[in-house]
Structure 1
Amino acid sequence: MTTFSSDLDGNRIRSLPSNSINITTDQLSLANSQLESISDWAFNGSRIGTLQLNGNLHLKRLDRLAFRGLGSLRTLDLSDTALLSLPTVGLEDIERLLVKRTPSLMTFPSVYHFGSIEEAHLTYPYHCCAFDFPAIQDPDQHRKYQNGARAVGDGVFHTAVAEESSLSVCEQGRATRLRSVRCLPAPDAFNPCEDIMGYRALRVAVWVVVVTAIVGNVAVLVVLISRSFKLTTPKFLMCNLAFADLCMGVYLLIIASMDIHTIGVYFNHAIHWQEGVGCQVAGFVTVFGAELSVFTLVTITCERWYAITNAIYLTKRLRIGGAVRVMVVGWMYSAFMATLPLVGIGSYSKTSICLPMARDATDRAGIAFLLLLLLGNGAAFLLISWFYLRMYCSISHVERGLVRPNDLKVAKRMALLVFTDFACWAPIAFFGVTAIMGVPLISVTNSKILLVFFYPLNACANPYLYAIFTKQFRQELLRLLGRRSLCRPPPRSANTLLEMSSIRGGRKSSQDSAVESHLPAAAVEQPALSPVLECSRTSDPGSVAPPGHAPRPDGGAQ
C-alpha cells in the first residue's frame, strides 16, 4: 500500500511482531500509543520516510533488528519513551534522529553507525560529545574508518578541530559520506566534554588534598578515641569536627577515584555516574560533612568564648551532656540539608563533581536551597569572627588594661584561624551567589580549582590547627604508638595532657589560666594546655588556684 501519510496515533497496540507492517508512505505515526516492544523485522519490506514512535511512554524494548528491512527512512522520532538501548541496524541512512526526554537511554550507540546523520536531538548533552570526539567514544570503529579513509585517500571524520571536514570510507564496497552533525542539547558550562578533573595539575593536587585531609582527621580521631584520657567536652566536639572533615576527604577520594577510572573517556560514563548511586552518595557526603563542620566550628567557638568570659565561675561551663544534645541537633540539621537534593530540591546530578545545583532556572526550591546553604555558611563565618574578636579582647584586657607581650602572637594565630575559614567560604559563596543570580563569573571547568584548593581547605587545616600542631597531641600520639610497640614512647612527666605547664616560670591569675585553656591550639603559645584535646581546668572545682596564686605543675596551689 502506498500513501502520503498514515496516522495511527493513540492506538492500543502493545507490540509490533515481525513482518507486522508493510507499507510505503512518506510518514507513519504511531505516536502516543501503548507500545511496549518492537520485534525484529517488524517493518520488513516497508518504505517509510518519517517514522514517529514518540509518546509511547512504556516502549522499553527495541530488538536489535527491529528496523531491519525498512527502507528510505530519513527521520526517526523516539522521544518521550522508556528505551534502554537504541538499535542501529537499519538506521545507516537516517538523517534526522530525535530521542528527546528519554532519560532511560543512558548509553548512546557509536556515531559511526549513523553514516548519513545530519541532525540529532537527544536527551543528554554528553551524548553530543560523541559527535565531536568519535575516536574517544568508539576507538575500534574509529580505527576501522581511518583505515578506510586511507584506502580511498579522502580526509578524516569530523572532530572538534575539523568541524566541517568529512570522510569517505569503503563499507561493503561503497563510499559513505559522514558529515558534521548538528546535535542538541550541546555540551555547556555544566556538562563540558572533559574529564572530571579538567587539568592534569588538578588531578595531582586533588590527591595531595585527599591524603592530607584523610590522614590528618583519621589521626585526630584515633588519638582522641584512644583510652589515654576520659571524654571531655572539647574532646567530644573535636571528634565531631574531625569526622565532619573526614567526610570531605572521603568525598574528594570518591571524585578523584572516578576521575582516574574514566580519564580520557569520561563522557562515555558521565550519565551512569551522575545519575547513579555513586554521585548521589558523594553529594550527600560532602554536604553533610560541610554543614556538620560549620556547625561544629561554631559550637567550639561559642563554647570557648563562653568559658573565657565566665572563667572565674566554675559552674558556667558547657558540660558533656549539653554538648551531646547540641551536636545531635547539628547531625540532624546536616543530614536534613544533605537529603534535600535526593528528594528533588536541587540535584547532585547536574555536574560531574556532584555538588548541589538547581535543576534549571525555574527550580525555585533548588535556588532557595542553594542560597540557604551559602548565606548560612557566610553567617557562620561572621559569627566565628565576632567570637574570636571578643576572645582576643578578653585576653588583652584580662588584667584591667595591661597589655602583655604575648597578645600580638595570640592575635596573629587567631587571625590564621579566621583566615582559613574566610578562604574556604568566601570564594565559594561569591561565585555561587553570582551563578544563582544568573550572572556566572566562572565556568564549571575553572570552578574545579575552587573545589580542590578552597572548598576542602577547612577539612585539611582544622586537624592541624586545632590538634596536631600542639605538643600535647604529639606526645599522646607517641604514647599511643608506644603501646602498640611502633615507637618508643616519650618519658611521662608530672604534667599530664590534662594539666597546664607554667609559662616562662611566671605566675598567672586564675582567669588568665582559664582563658588560655580555651583558646584554639593555633592561638596558644607552647607549652600550654591543648584546648582541643582537653577541657578547661576550671571545669574541675579543684583545678583553679585562688586569686593571687599561680597554679602549680601538679595541679595544686602555691
Structure 2
Amino acid sequence: MYPIPEPISQPLRVVIHAGVTALREGVFSSMGEIEEIHFTGNNLRELENGSMDGTRSLSHLQLSSNNISYIPDGFFHQNVRLTRLELNDNSLTEIRPAMFCGLISLLNLYIERNKMEHLPEDVFSMMPRLQFLYLGSNRLRTVAPGTFNGLGFLHLLSLERNELRSLKNGSFVGLESVKTLILQDNGMESFEPGTFGDLVSVESLCLKGNGLSELPEGDAFGDMTKLKYIYFDEFRQCSLALHVRQCEPKGDGISSVEHLLDSIVLRICVWVMGLLACAGNILVLVGRYVVKEPNRVHSFYIKNLSLSDLLMGVYLFIIAFYDASFRGTYIRHETSWRRSWQCSFCGFLSTLSSEASVLTLTTITLDRYCSIVHPLTLKERTFRAAAGVMATIWTFAALLALLPVVGLAYYGDNFYGSNGMCLPLHIHDPYAKAWEHSAVIFIGLNLIAFMFIAYAYIRMIIAIQESRMSLRSTQEKQDRILVKRFAFIVGTDFLCWMPVIVIKVVALSGVGIDRTLYAWLAVFVLPVNSALNPILYTLATKIFKQQVVKMVFNMSRWPVSQPRTGTDSNPSNSYVMLYRGRFQTAQMSTRTASLWSHRTRRLSLDQRGAYGIAPNVPPPCTCPPTCEI
C-alpha cells in the first residue's frame, strides 16, 4: 500500500471586497492566526492606530488600489513577522521612518503609483532586512543623500517613471548589496560625478527613458566594477561604460558600438552608390564638354545637375572612408566624430547636393514643359539667363545647407551630427532642435518640386498624344518610347523622394519608425537619384549616343541625304528623320507642315537644333520631340 500524503497546510487568508472605507482599532483582534489580509480595490481612506492589533502572525498585507493618503506612525508596530507589504495605487504624498516601525522582517515593499514627491533621509531605516523596494510611478523629484541608509540587504531598487531630473552624489549611500537598479523613464538630464560610486555590487542598471544631455566626462560608471548589463536610449551613451560586457541598444539602425555602418550590406552599398554617382556624373561632365552640343542652355542645365549629383557621391565616399577608419572601435570615436567639422561638412555636402539637384531638375522640367506645351509663347532662351537661374539655385541651396553650421542658437551645436551619417533627417527624434528646418527641406520643398515635375510630364505626355493624329505608325512608336521615358523619370523621382516625405510626416505625427529604415533611406534611397540622373538625362538620350557614335566612328564623313527642294509631284512634303541610328523617310501633309512652320518660326536656331529640327525641314509632329529627353 502506498502511504496517504498529509494535506498541505494553506495560509489563513482574509480577502475583503466590500467597499470598506476605514479600519478601526481592534478590527482584527480575534484573528491571531491569520497570515494574509487582502484589502485590494476597496475605498479605504482612514487607518487608525490599533487596527492591526492581534495580527502578529501576519506575513502578507495587501492594501493596494484604495484611496489611502496617510498612514499614522506606529500603525504596523505589531507586524513583526510581516514580509510583504503592498501599498500600490493609493494617494500617499509622503512617507516617514516612523510609519514603518515594527517591520523588522519585511522583505518586499511596494509603494508604486502614489503621489510622493520627496524621499527623506533614513526613511527606510526601520526595515533592515528589506530586499525588494518598488517606488515606481510616483512624482519623486528629489532623493535626499542617505535616503537608503540601513538597507544593507536590498537586492532590487525600482525608481522608474518618476520625475528625477538629476541625481546628486550620495543619493545611493547604503546600497552596498543592490544587484539591480531601475531608473527608467525619469527624464533625467544629468547626474553628478560619483553618483553611482556607492553601487559597487550592481550588475544591471536601466537608464532608458532619460535624456542625459549633460553627462560627466570620462567613464561615469567606472566604480561599478561588477556591472554586466546597462540599458540606455541611444547606443552612443555606451561610451560612458566601456567596461560593461553588454550595453543596449547596440545600434541605431545606422551605426553600432563597433561600426559607423553596422550592416555589411550598408558598407557595400555606400561604396557602390558612391562609385555610381561619381563615375556617372564625371562621365556626363566630361562627355558634355568634349561632345559638341546643339543646345548650350539645356546642356548647361545638365552639367549643373551632374555637378550637384557628383557632390552626393563625394559625400558617400567620405562616409565610407571614416567607416573603414573606425571599424571595430566606433564607440570610442562616436562623440568626437559627430561633433567634428568633418561631420558638419558631410551634412553640408549632402544637403547642398540634394537641394541643388531637386531645384535643377525642376528647372529642366520647366524648360521642357514650356518648349513642348507652349512653344508659341516661348521666348528665346539665352545662356546668360540660364546662368542667372543656376546661380540663384546654387546660392539658395548653399544657404539652406550652411545655416545650421554658422553658429546660430536656433540650430544648436549638433544639427548635422544627430547620427553617424550626419544627415539632418531627424526621423527618430522628429522634434529635435531646429526640426522645422528639416521639415521645410524634406517635406515642403521636395514635395512641391515633385508635384510640379509630375504635373509637367503628364501634361507633356497629353500634348504629345494630341499631336500625333496625323502621324504614321513609325512616329507613334517613337512617341511610345518617349512616353515610357517620361514615366520612368517621374517614377524614379517618386521612388526617391516620396518615401522620405512620407516617413518624415509619419515621424512628425508621433508614430515610431523602425531604426533600420533610417539606414536604408540614408544609404540607398536618397543617393539613388544621383546615380540615375546621368542615365536618364544624358547617357540614355538619343542625341548623346548619336554624338558619341559620330565622334568615335567619324560619322561626319558619312553621306547624308539632303532634303529635296522645289515642287514635288507628290502633294505631300518629305523630311528626313534620324531614328535609332538610321535615316528613315516619313510623310507629312502640307497642312501639317505649314502649321509646324508657323509654330516653330519663333524658335531660335539653337532651339531648333536641340529638338532635332532642321532650318527648312518640317518636324514629324506638331510639338518638338526634343532629342535631349
TM-score range, shorter chain: 0.5 to 0.7
Q: Following the alignment from structure 1 to structure 2, what is the Cα–Cα distance between the partners of residues 389 and 549? A: 21
Q: Which has the higher contact order (CA 8 A, sep 6+)?
A: 1
Q: Which letter does structure 1 place at the counterpart of 2:485?
A: R
Q: Which letter does structure 1 place at the counterpart of 2:236?
A: Y
Q: 2:533 aligns with which of 462, 469, 474?
A: 462
Q: Following the alignment from structure 1 to structure 2, what is the Cα–Cα distance between the partners of residues 208 and 538? A: 37
Q: Is the 8 A contact 1:381 1:421 kept in 2?
A: yes
1:502 aligns with 2:578: yes
Q: 1:353 aligns with which of 406, 421, 430?
A: 421
In the alignment, what sits opposite 2:490? 418
In the alignment, what sits opposite 1:128? 238
- When residues 109 and 493 of structure 1 are mapped into structure 2, their CA distance, relative to the original with a 3 A threshold, is same
Q: Is the 8 A contact 1:317 1:539 kept in 2?
A: no
Task: Map residues 442-457 of structure 1 onto 2, 5 A cutoff.
Answer: 442-457=513-528
Q: Is the 8 A contact 2:577 2:586 kept in 1?
A: no
Q: 1:233 aligns with which of 266, 287, 297?
A: 297
- When residues 186 and 212 of structure 1 are mapped into structure 2, their CA distance, relative to the original with a 3 A threshold, is closer
- When residues 110 and 493 of structure 1 are mapped into structure 2, their CA distance, relative to the original with a 3 A threshold, is farther
Give the C-alpha shift of residue 444 in structure 1: 2.9
Give the C-alpha shift of residue 328 in structure 1: 1.6
- When residues 538 and 277 of structure 1 are mapped into structure 2, their CA distance, relative to the original with a 3 A threshold, is same
Work out which of the two has the higher radius of gyration on C-alpha atoms and give 1 or 2.
2
Q: 1:409 aligns with which of 458, 469, 481?
A: 481
Give the C-alpha shift of residue 113 in structure 1: 6.7
Per the normalisation by structure 2, the TM-score is 0.54
- When residues 323 and 458 of structure 1 are mapped into structure 2, their CA distance, relative to the original with a 3 A threshold, is same
Give the C-alpha shift of residue 410 in structure 1: 1.8
SS of the residue corresponding to residue 305 of structure 1 reads: helix
Give the C-alpha shift of residue 110 in structure 1: 9.7
SS of the residue corresponding to residue 289 of structure 1 reads: helix
Task: Map residues 28-427 of structure 1 onto 2, 5 A cutoff.
Answer: 101-102=213-214, 105=217, 108-109=218-219, 114-115=224-225, 125-128=235-238, 131=241, 137=242, 158-159=245-246, 193=257, 195-226=259-290, 228=292, 232-311=296-375, 316-342=379-405, 343=408, 344-345=410-411, 347-358=415-426, 363=432, 365-367=434-436, 369-399=438-468, 404-406=475-477, 407-427=479-499
Q: Is the 8 A contact 2:255 2:262 kept in 1?
A: no
Q: Is the 8 A contact 2:352 2:401 kept in 1?
A: yes
The alignment covers a number of residue pairs equal to 403
- When residues 292 and 122 of structure 1 are mapped into structure 2, their CA distance, relative to the original with a 3 A threshold, is same
- When residues 430 and 319 of structure 1 are mapped into structure 2, their CA distance, relative to the original with a 3 A threshold, is same
Q: Which letter does structure 2 place at the counterpart of 1:126?
A: R
Q: Following the alignment from structure 2 to structure 1, what is the Cα–Cα distance between the partners of residues 267 and 372? A: 44
Q: Following the alignment from structure 1 to structure 2, what is the Cα–Cα distance between the partners of residues 514 and 277? A: 58
- When residues 111 and 479 of structure 1 are mapped into structure 2, their CA distance, relative to the original with a 3 A threshold, is farther
Q: Which letter does structure 2 place at the counterpart of 1:345?
A: Y
In the alignment, what sits opposite 2:183? none
* Higher relative helix content: 1
Give the C-alpha shift of residue 345 in structure 1: 3.4
Give the C-alpha shift of residue 234 in structure 1: 0.6
Give the C-alpha shift of residue 387 in structure 1: 0.9
Q: Is the 8 A contact 1:79 1:102 kept in 2?
A: yes
Q: Following the alignment from structure 1 to structure 2, what is the Cα–Cα distance between the partners of residues 264 and 127? A: 17
Give the C-alpha shift of residue 369 in structure 1: 3.6
SS of the residue corresponding to residue 385 of structure 2 reads: helix
Q: Is the 8 A contact 2:596 2:618 kept in 1?
A: no
Give the C-alpha shift of residue 211 in structure 1: 0.8
- When residues 332 and 265 of structure 1 are mapped into structure 2, their CA distance, relative to the original with a 3 A threshold, is same
Q: Which letter does structure 2 place at the counterpart of 1:432?
A: K
Q: Is the 8 A contact 1:348 1:356 kept in 2?
A: yes
Q: Is the 8 A contact 1:103 1:123 kept in 2?
A: no
Q: Kindly, what percent of the aligned residue pairs are identical?
A: 27
Per the normalisation by structure 1, the TM-score is 0.60
Give the C-alpha shift of residue 226 in structure 1: 3.7
Q: Which letter does structure 2 place at the counterpart of 1:245?
A: D
SS of the residue corresponding to residue 544 of structure 1 reads: coil
> Any gaps of 5 or more consecutive residues in structure 2?
1-120, 122-143, 147-167, 171-175, 179-188, 563-575, 622-629
Write the deviation string for residues 40-67 of structure 1: whole angstroms up to 9, x where unpaired.
xxxxxxxxxx858xxxxxxxxxxxxxxx
- When residues 444 and 319 of structure 1 are mapped into structure 2, their CA distance, relative to the original with a 3 A threshold, is farther
Give the C-alpha shift of residue 119 in structure 1: 10
Q: 2:553 aligns with which of 479, 483, 490?
A: 490
Give the C-alpha shift of residue 291 in structure 1: 0.6
Give the C-alpha shift of residue 217 in structure 1: 0.3
Q: Is the 8 A contact 2:252 2:516 kept in 1?
A: no
Give the C-alpha shift of residue 473 in structure 1: 3.0
Give the C-alpha shift of residue 197 in structure 1: 2.4
> Any gaps of 5 or more consecutive residues in structure 1?
6-25, 29-49, 53-71, 132-136, 139-156, 161-182, 481-488, 517-533, 551-558
Q: Which letter does structure 1 place at the counterpart of 2:490?
A: V
